[in-house]
Amino acid sequence: MSSLALEGKSALITGASRGIGKAIALRFAAEGCDIAVNYVTEAGRDNAAEAAQTAEEIGGLGRQALCVEADVTDPLAVEAMVANVIKTFGKLDILVNNAGITRDRTLKKLAKEDWDSVIAVNLTGAFHCARAVIEHMRERQYGRIISISSVIAQMGNIGQTNYAASKAGLIGFTKSLAREVARRGITVNVIAPGFIATEMTQAILPDIMAQIVPTIPMGYLGQPEDVANAAVFLASAEASYITGQVLSVNGGLYM
Protein backbone atom coordinates (compact mmCIF):
# COMPACT_ATOMS: atom_id res chain seq x y z
CA MET A 1 0.00 0.00 0.00
CA SER A 2 1.24 3.53 -0.74
CA SER A 3 2.11 5.93 2.02
CA LEU A 4 -1.37 7.39 1.60
CA ALA A 5 -4.02 4.69 2.03
CA LEU A 6 -6.63 6.42 -0.14
CA GLU A 7 -4.47 8.33 -2.58
CA GLY A 8 -6.35 9.24 -5.76
CA LYS A 9 -9.72 8.09 -4.41
CA SER A 10 -12.94 10.05 -4.01
CA ALA A 11 -15.63 9.61 -1.38
CA LEU A 12 -19.15 10.72 -0.58
CA ILE A 13 -19.82 10.88 3.15
CA THR A 14 -23.37 11.57 4.30
CA GLY A 15 -23.88 13.69 7.39
CA ALA A 16 -20.28 14.87 7.17
CA SER A 17 -20.63 18.39 8.51
CA ARG A 18 -19.93 17.34 12.11
CA GLY A 19 -19.30 14.46 14.49
CA ILE A 20 -18.26 11.05 13.20
CA GLY A 21 -18.95 12.04 9.59
CA LYS A 22 -16.59 15.01 9.81
CA ALA A 23 -13.91 12.92 11.48
CA ILE A 24 -14.13 10.36 8.66
CA ALA A 25 -13.99 13.13 6.05
CA LEU A 26 -10.84 14.66 7.53
CA ARG A 27 -9.15 11.30 8.05
CA PHE A 28 -9.92 10.25 4.48
CA ALA A 29 -8.57 13.57 3.19
CA ALA A 30 -5.38 13.11 5.20
CA GLU A 31 -4.98 9.79 3.37
CA GLY A 32 -5.24 11.43 -0.06
CA CYS A 33 -8.97 11.24 -0.77
CA ASP A 34 -11.19 13.94 -2.32
CA ILE A 35 -14.37 14.37 -0.31
CA ALA A 36 -18.00 15.22 -1.01
CA VAL A 37 -19.38 16.60 2.26
CA ASN A 38 -23.10 15.90 2.45
CA TYR A 39 -25.34 17.85 4.79
CA VAL A 40 -29.04 18.53 5.17
CA THR A 41 -30.88 21.80 5.79
CA GLU A 42 -32.07 21.73 9.39
CA ALA A 43 -34.20 24.25 11.27
CA GLY A 44 -32.30 26.09 13.97
CA ARG A 45 -28.86 25.01 12.81
CA ASP A 46 -26.52 26.27 10.09
CA ASN A 47 -25.39 22.96 8.70
CA ALA A 48 -24.26 24.68 5.49
CA ALA A 49 -21.71 26.74 7.46
CA GLU A 50 -20.52 23.62 9.29
CA ALA A 51 -20.15 21.77 5.99
CA ALA A 52 -18.23 24.71 4.53
CA GLN A 53 -15.90 24.64 7.54
CA THR A 54 -15.32 20.92 7.03
CA ALA A 55 -14.62 21.56 3.35
CA GLU A 56 -12.14 24.29 4.27
CA GLU A 57 -10.30 21.91 6.57
CA ILE A 58 -10.21 19.29 3.81
CA GLY A 59 -8.71 21.90 1.49
CA GLY A 60 -6.10 22.63 4.14
CA LEU A 61 -5.07 18.99 3.87
CA GLY A 62 -4.48 19.46 0.15
CA ARG A 63 -7.55 17.66 -1.12
CA GLN A 64 -10.56 18.73 -3.15
CA ALA A 65 -13.84 19.17 -1.27
CA LEU A 66 -17.41 19.52 -2.51
CA CYS A 67 -20.32 20.51 -0.27
CA VAL A 68 -23.52 18.77 -1.35
CA GLU A 69 -26.86 19.49 0.31
CA ALA A 70 -29.31 16.60 0.05
CA ASP A 71 -31.85 14.93 2.26
CA VAL A 72 -31.03 11.21 2.13
CA THR A 73 -34.72 10.38 2.54
CA ASP A 74 -35.39 11.95 -0.89
CA PRO A 75 -34.31 9.54 -3.65
CA LEU A 76 -34.34 12.20 -6.37
CA ALA A 77 -32.15 14.51 -4.29
CA VAL A 78 -29.75 11.64 -3.62
CA GLU A 79 -29.53 10.75 -7.31
CA ALA A 80 -28.79 14.40 -8.17
CA MET A 81 -26.17 14.56 -5.42
CA VAL A 82 -24.38 11.45 -6.66
CA ALA A 83 -24.44 12.71 -10.26
CA ASN A 84 -22.91 15.99 -9.08
CA VAL A 85 -20.16 14.19 -7.17
CA ILE A 86 -19.27 11.97 -10.13
CA LYS A 87 -19.24 14.96 -12.48
CA THR A 88 -17.01 16.95 -10.12
CA PHE A 89 -14.51 14.23 -9.23
CA GLY A 90 -14.78 12.17 -12.41
CA LYS A 91 -15.62 9.06 -10.38
CA LEU A 92 -16.87 7.92 -7.00
CA ASP A 93 -14.89 5.22 -5.22
CA ILE A 94 -16.27 5.23 -1.68
CA LEU A 95 -19.67 5.77 -0.11
CA VAL A 96 -19.98 6.19 3.65
CA ASN A 97 -23.55 6.01 4.92
CA ASN A 98 -23.18 8.02 8.11
CA ALA A 99 -26.28 10.24 8.25
CA GLY A 100 -28.40 9.33 11.25
CA ILE A 101 -30.86 10.66 13.81
CA THR A 102 -32.39 9.58 17.11
CA ARG A 103 -35.93 10.00 18.43
CA ASP A 104 -35.72 8.13 21.71
CA ARG A 105 -38.86 6.97 23.51
CA THR A 106 -39.99 3.74 25.10
CA LEU A 107 -42.24 1.82 22.76
CA LYS A 108 -45.29 2.71 24.86
CA LYS A 109 -44.64 6.41 24.22
CA LEU A 110 -43.11 6.16 20.74
CA ALA A 111 -45.13 8.03 18.13
CA LYS A 112 -45.38 6.49 14.69
CA GLU A 113 -43.81 9.58 13.13
CA ASP A 114 -40.74 9.11 15.36
CA TRP A 115 -40.47 5.50 14.23
CA ASP A 116 -40.90 6.50 10.58
CA SER A 117 -38.41 9.37 10.65
CA VAL A 118 -35.60 7.30 12.21
CA ILE A 119 -36.12 4.41 9.79
CA ALA A 120 -36.31 6.86 6.88
CA VAL A 121 -32.99 8.57 7.63
CA ASN A 122 -30.93 5.78 9.14
CA LEU A 123 -31.97 2.84 6.98
CA THR A 124 -33.91 3.96 3.90
CA GLY A 125 -31.42 6.80 3.42
CA ALA A 126 -28.60 4.28 3.15
CA PHE A 127 -30.67 2.32 0.62
CA HIS A 128 -31.17 5.44 -1.50
CA CYS A 129 -27.46 6.28 -1.45
CA ALA A 130 -26.27 2.75 -2.18
CA ARG A 131 -28.74 2.36 -5.03
CA ALA A 132 -27.61 5.67 -6.50
CA VAL A 133 -23.92 4.70 -6.56
CA ILE A 134 -24.04 0.98 -7.23
CA GLU A 135 -24.31 1.02 -11.04
CA HIS A 136 -21.38 3.43 -11.30
CA MET A 137 -19.29 1.15 -9.08
CA ARG A 138 -20.37 -1.97 -10.99
CA GLU A 139 -19.35 -0.39 -14.29
CA ARG A 140 -15.92 0.50 -12.88
CA GLN A 141 -15.55 -2.90 -11.19
CA TYR A 142 -14.55 -1.14 -8.00
CA GLY A 143 -16.20 0.35 -4.95
CA ARG A 144 -16.29 0.58 -1.18
CA ILE A 145 -19.57 1.01 0.69
CA ILE A 146 -19.32 1.52 4.45
CA SER A 147 -22.36 2.06 6.67
CA ILE A 148 -22.24 3.35 10.23
CA SER A 149 -24.43 1.17 12.43
CA SER A 150 -24.27 1.09 16.24
CA VAL A 151 -23.59 -1.16 19.20
CA ILE A 152 -27.29 -0.61 19.97
CA ALA A 153 -28.11 -2.73 16.90
CA GLN A 154 -26.22 -5.61 18.50
CA MET A 155 -27.26 -5.38 22.13
CA GLY A 156 -30.43 -3.23 22.21
CA ASN A 157 -31.19 -0.37 24.57
CA ILE A 158 -34.20 0.88 26.49
CA GLY A 159 -36.02 3.65 24.65
CA GLN A 160 -34.35 2.97 21.30
CA THR A 161 -36.47 0.39 19.52
CA ASN A 162 -36.63 2.61 16.42
CA TYR A 163 -32.91 3.40 16.45
CA ALA A 164 -31.92 -0.22 17.12
CA ALA A 165 -34.18 -1.48 14.34
CA SER A 166 -32.75 1.02 11.84
CA LYS A 167 -29.15 0.24 12.73
CA ALA A 168 -29.73 -3.52 12.82
CA GLY A 169 -31.37 -3.18 9.41
CA LEU A 170 -28.12 -1.71 8.09
CA ILE A 171 -26.31 -4.89 9.08
CA GLY A 172 -28.72 -7.15 7.19
CA PHE A 173 -28.76 -4.76 4.23
CA THR A 174 -24.96 -4.79 4.14
CA LYS A 175 -24.60 -8.56 4.26
CA SER A 176 -27.10 -9.05 1.43
CA LEU A 177 -25.65 -6.30 -0.77
CA ALA A 178 -22.13 -7.62 -0.16
CA ARG A 179 -23.17 -10.95 -1.67
CA GLU A 180 -24.76 -9.25 -4.68
CA VAL A 181 -21.72 -7.20 -5.70
CA ALA A 182 -18.68 -9.14 -4.46
CA ARG A 183 -17.78 -10.36 -7.95
CA ARG A 184 -17.83 -6.76 -9.18
CA GLY A 185 -14.90 -5.67 -7.04
CA ILE A 186 -17.15 -3.90 -4.55
CA THR A 187 -16.90 -4.45 -0.81
CA VAL A 188 -19.74 -3.61 1.57
CA ASN A 189 -19.12 -3.42 5.30
CA VAL A 190 -20.47 -1.97 8.53
CA ILE A 191 -18.84 -0.18 11.43
CA ALA A 192 -20.72 -0.49 14.73
CA PRO A 193 -19.50 2.22 17.10
CA GLY A 194 -20.16 2.11 20.80
CA PHE A 195 -20.56 5.27 22.86
CA ILE A 196 -18.52 7.91 21.05
CA ALA A 197 -17.92 11.45 22.33
CA THR A 198 -20.17 13.41 19.94
CA GLU A 199 -23.15 15.74 20.24
CA MET A 200 -25.40 12.69 20.30
CA THR A 201 -23.80 11.32 23.46
CA GLN A 202 -23.48 14.79 24.98
CA ALA A 203 -27.28 14.89 25.01
CA ILE A 204 -27.35 11.94 27.43
CA LEU A 205 -28.09 13.03 30.98
CA PRO A 206 -24.96 13.08 33.18
CA ASP A 207 -26.41 10.59 35.69
CA ILE A 208 -27.21 8.17 32.87
CA MET A 209 -23.73 8.60 31.38
CA ALA A 210 -22.24 7.94 34.80
CA GLN A 211 -23.95 4.54 34.68
CA ILE A 212 -22.85 3.80 31.11
CA VAL A 213 -19.11 4.44 31.36
CA PRO A 214 -18.40 1.73 33.99
CA THR A 215 -20.00 -0.86 31.67
CA ILE A 216 -17.35 -0.16 29.01
CA PRO A 217 -14.37 -2.46 29.68
CA MET A 218 -11.91 0.18 28.50
CA GLY A 219 -13.51 2.65 30.89
CA TYR A 220 -14.05 5.67 28.65
CA LEU A 221 -15.93 6.93 25.61
CA GLY A 222 -14.41 6.53 22.19
CA GLN A 223 -13.51 9.46 19.98
CA PRO A 224 -14.84 10.10 16.44
CA GLU A 225 -11.30 9.51 15.20
CA ASP A 226 -11.49 5.91 16.46
CA VAL A 227 -14.36 5.29 14.05
CA ALA A 228 -12.59 7.20 11.29
CA ASN A 229 -9.52 4.98 11.62
CA ALA A 230 -11.69 1.90 11.13
CA ALA A 231 -13.32 3.49 8.09
CA VAL A 232 -9.94 4.20 6.49
CA PHE A 233 -8.99 0.56 6.92
CA LEU A 234 -12.20 -0.74 5.34
CA ALA A 235 -11.87 1.73 2.45
CA SER A 236 -8.23 0.84 1.80
CA ALA A 237 -6.58 -1.83 -0.32
CA GLU A 238 -5.61 -3.62 2.89
CA ALA A 239 -9.27 -4.59 3.34
CA SER A 240 -9.87 -5.69 -0.24
CA TYR A 241 -10.76 -9.26 0.82
CA ILE A 242 -13.12 -8.17 3.61
CA THR A 243 -16.81 -7.82 2.81
CA GLY A 244 -20.14 -8.33 4.55
CA GLN A 245 -18.54 -7.78 7.95
CA VAL A 246 -19.35 -5.78 11.08
CA LEU A 247 -16.35 -4.04 12.63
CA SER A 248 -17.14 -3.08 16.22
CA VAL A 249 -15.48 0.02 17.66
CA ASN A 250 -16.88 0.01 21.19
CA GLY A 251 -14.14 -0.34 23.79
CA GLY A 252 -15.34 -3.86 24.56
CA LEU A 253 -18.89 -2.87 25.46
CA TYR A 254 -20.26 -5.65 23.26
CA MET A 255 -18.18 -8.72 22.39
The CATH number fitting domain 10-249, selected from 3.40.50.720, 3.40.50.970, 3.30.450.20, 1.10.12.10? 3.40.50.720
* Per-residue model confidence as pLDDT tens digits over 49-77: 999 999 999 999 999 999 999 999 999 99
**Buried residues in 102-113 as b, exposed as e (16+ CB within 10 A):** bbbeeeeebeee
Per-residue pLDDT tens digits for 239-254: 999 999 999 999 999 9
Q: Confidence band (pLDDT; 50, 70, 90) for 1?
A: very low
The pTM of the full predicted model, rounded to 2 decimals, is 0.96
Active site residue 142: no
What is the rounded average pLDDT of the residues 109-113?
Answer: 98
**Rounded (5°) CA angle 185-186-187:** 125
Residue 185 has pLDDT above 80, yes or no: yes
**pLDDT at residue number 187:** 98
Residue among 164, 161, 158, 159 at smallest CA distance from 192: 164
User: Catalytic pick from 39, 142, 163, 220?
Assistant: 163
Question: What would the pLDDT profile of 219-238 be if each residue is shown by its tens digit?
Answer: 999 999 999 999 999 999 99
pLDDT at position 2: 52
Q: CB–CB of 162/211 below 8 Å?
A: no
How does residue 205 score in pLDDT terms, banded at 50, 70 and 90?
confident
